[in-house]
Structure 1
Amino acid sequence: MNAVFAGSDADDIVPALEAEGVAVTRIDGVATRPALEEAGIVDADLFVLTDVGQATAVPIARDLTDDLRVVVYSRDSLPEFASGQVDFAVDPDLLGPDAIAEELAGAA
């Protein structure tokens, strides 16, 4: 499974995903269309976003990739325009990174 990750990783979701065998490509900076393409979003199975300030990346990623699962892992609320395009949104205080990573890797 391949994942593209955008945002900060204060809750260590990337190491948890990698421990489950997920190949993760991180986007440094803003997840713009060129950044998503360079990170390999067109071949990704999963897009993980932790910075809801970059929510515009969600519809861009969806537009670029068929069958992409989009996960928002943040304590902040997702803007309404993007919330309908997210498969799974979870607060890190409610479900830890290991549990999320196991669920995502197992659903592949």
Structure 2
Amino acid sequence: MAGNALTAIVAGPDEHGIGEELEALDATVSRVEGVVSADALKAAGITEADYLVLTDADEATGIPVAKELNPSVTVVTYADRSLPEFVAGVADLAVDPALVTPTLLAEELAAGGPAAGGDENTSDDETADATAGDGDADDGDE
């Protein structure tokens, strides 16, 4: 992303090191420790952020707050647990650290990532189903 400084907020404990991986790719990373509130998000620079990476599913109530403060922010959850249903549809991408390394996730985000319109949101089974047919599997009826 030469010329485009990527900005990200990592909210929650960063035991997998996603913040460091983003910084290694020249992203500007700020952090929210503790409660992911409007004040904490504002102090971290949510209005200018490209990404909010939430690492604690218990702080999921911060997702709609972040979207209200910056509708264009891409919210990525990088947590071992699933999000509560009431916010699952608001997050742009949910990633399980057991399946995707922080290095790979950081590279995807720095490259414009899954929320930029790629097919990374499909599971391996969906990808296999879409490529196994005659090439007409583009409507994704599931």
Q: Deviations over 1:25-66 (max 9, x none)?
A: 001211111110111101111100000000000000000002
Say which one has the larger Rg. 2
Whether 2:65 is the aligned partner of 1:60: answer: yes
Q: 2:77 aligns with which of 72, 77, 88?
A: 72
Structure 1 stretches of 4+ moved >3 Å: none
Q: Deviations over 1:77-107 (max 9, x none)?
A: 1001111011111110100000000000000
| 2:112 aligned partner | 107
Whether 2:28 is the aligned partner of 1:13: answer: no
Residue ranges of structure 2 left out of the alignment (5+ in a row): 1-5, 114-142
Residue ranges of structure 1 left out of the alignment (5+ in a row): none
Contact 2:13 2:33 in 1 (8 A): no
Letter in 1 for 2:37: T
After TM superposition, give the deviation of residue 22 of structure 1 in Å. 1.0
Letter in 2 for 1:106: A
> Residues of 1 paired with 2:26 and 2:71: CA distance?
22
* TM-score, normalising length: structure 1: 0.96
| 1:90 aligned partner | 95
Q: Secondary structure at the match of 1:81?
A: helix
Q: Count matched residues.
A: 108
* TM-score, normalising length: structure 2: 0.74
Percent identity reads 45
Q: Which has the higher contact order (CA 8 A, sep 6+)?
A: 1
RMSD over aligned Cα atoms: 0.9
Letter in 2 for 1:76: R
| 1:35 aligned partner | 40
